[in-house]
Amino acid sequence: MDDTEPVQPSLNSNYVPTTPGNHHVSEDEESDDQSPSSSLLPKHSSVPLAVRYSPEDSYCFVYIIFFLMGIGSLLPWNFFITAKHYWLYKLSNNTHGSGNKEHRSDLSDYFESYLAIASTIPSVLCLILNYVLVNRLSSNVRILSSLFVILVVFVVTTVLVKVDVSDSRTEFFIGTLASVAVVSGASNLFSGSVFGISGHFPMRISQALISGQAMGGTLSAVASILDLALAKDVADSALAYFLTADVFILLCIMTYLLLPKLAYSRHYMLAATGDGGAAAGTGSRVSVPPLQPILKKTWVLGLSVFYVFFISIMVFPAVSSGIQSVNKASGSPWTTTYFVPLTSFLLYNVADFCGRQATAWLQVPGPTSRVLPVLVVCRSVMVPLLMFCNFQPRDHLHTVLFAHDVYPVVFNCLLGLTNGYLGTLPMIYGPKVVPRELAEATGVVMSFFLTLGLAVGSAFSVLIVHCI
């Protein structure tokens, strides 16, 4: 449980549970007063009764549902970027043949860089759209519509696995990027809406969502490796891989529809609805929160988030997944088939998960410390370190300084660990350094800095791949 996040009750203080005898004081609320940052939070006595007393989360069903929602919010992006062998095969000059050998082409060389651009730019636009629609369109409509859009795109992607696109690779390239753009926009609406709902629940539910997001990349990397190990060729591997994504998205839809039927979630969602109606009656929900006081308090934290993800997306996956084993000529499965999925995708995502989870127990440096932005800037060294590994093909920068397989292993672990830790700390601190009524809007602003960093970094990743 993460006690570093502020309590965000937005429930109507007049709401009283119908059967208070069946309710208990939530552990999350009891522990809030023990938070090391409790001076930044409102006193426990100010928390509404509806927040302090709730039904039990039987069998942790609600926790599990939000954990799945967290995985689902990043699953589409992770499944697209980890299917590297499939995209190389589909965009190469060898799809007429029956072998798995990949031939170089301009489309495959720069596909991952353009993939990052197609993903992050729509995310920035949809984040702004979500900020505008949050008080005008119900969360149910936003969440279910975005999930159905993601499902349709993934079903089409799955069908195209068995379609020969040898004579229309450019059209397939453009169509894939368009699919990524649509999925990224829908995923952004989905994740933002789910975060909004989790704000009405105790902190353990928000922690479930964050943990699920961190786990999404790891699961997609593991699924990719298993598909490569079990499938006979690239096409069969990709088919099983994308079918897995289809099933998981369906699971997210079904579990979300189950959420209002559970007493624990119904308690908080009913209270939130009552508060929303009262707020709407006063016209406060349709007003746009002021940006100036938010930026005045959080501009350093926002720039830190921006730069962390700017550096990360600049080299992952466009550069890191292009680093090949120096012993690839040996022909062993480790050096040819599993080196990139293991050293780039799996290690990075596991390290990122560990970095994010570490913030639940350690929050150093603090929100006002100058050390945090210094550490963030120091991550710039990861760019040249990965560039001078055995990235292939190399057209301009022919020197390989780190000619051993252990170097990309260490560098990718450092990249993921620092991304998870230094990227999460500012996101936690942001809503705590502003007045309580601006906390939710501050979360949206911090998310904007994060997504903007991904968008700008993805554009620079194209430049770096061209330079190498």
List pLDDT tens digits, range 250-289: 999 999 999 888 888 888 777 545 444 444 444 444 466 6
**Predicted TM-score of the model (pTM):** 0.71
Q: How far is CA 67 from CA 32, 85, 251, 259, 442, in A?
A: 21, 29, 12, 12, 23
How many C-alpha atoms does 7 have within 13 Å on its Cβ side?
26
Query: What tokens appear for 463 in the block?
Result: 């430049």
CA distance 104 to 138: 47
CA distance 193 to 462: 31
Domain 289-468: give its CATH code: 1.20.1250.20
N-to-C CA span, the chain: 43
CA distance 234 to 152: 23
Domains 58-286 and 289-468 equal at CATH topology level:
yes
Confidence of residue 104 (pLDDT cuts 50, 70, 90): low
With pLDDT > 70 as the criterion, what percentage of the chain qualifies? 75
pLDDT digits (tens, 9 = 90+) for 199-213: 667 667 766 777 787
Least confident of 278-292, 376-390, 400-414, 453-467: 278-292
Q: How far is CA 188 from the centre of its chain?
A: 9
CB 302 within 8 A of CB 431: no
Q: Residue 323 — φ and ψ, nearest 5°?
A: -80, 120
pLDDT digits (tens, 9 = 90+) for 217-251: 888 788 778 877 776 777 877 888 788 888 989 99
Query: CA angle, 208 as apex, 206 and 210 as ends, to 5°?
Result: 70
CA distance 81 to 83: 6
Q: Is 391 helix (H, G, I), strand (E, B) or coil?
A: strand
pLDDT of residue 156: 92
Spans of all domains in the chain: 58-286, 289-468
In which residue are the tokens 């501009």 written? 299
For the chain, the average pLDDT equals 77
CA distance 366 to 426: 9
CA distance 129 to 151: 21
pLDDT digits (tens, 9 = 90+) for 306-322: 999 999 999 988 899 89
Answer yes or no: is pLDDT of 98 > 60.
Answer: no
Query: CA angle, 447 as apex, 445 and 449 as ends, to 5°?
Result: 75
Domain 58-286: give its CATH code: 1.20.1250.20
Question: Going by C-beta distance under 8 Å and a sequence separation of 6 or more, which residues neighbour residue 254?
Answer: none
CA distance 365 to 422: 9
Answer yes or no: is pLDDT of 70 > 80.
Answer: yes
Q: Is 311 helix (H, G, I), strand (E, B) or coil?
A: helix
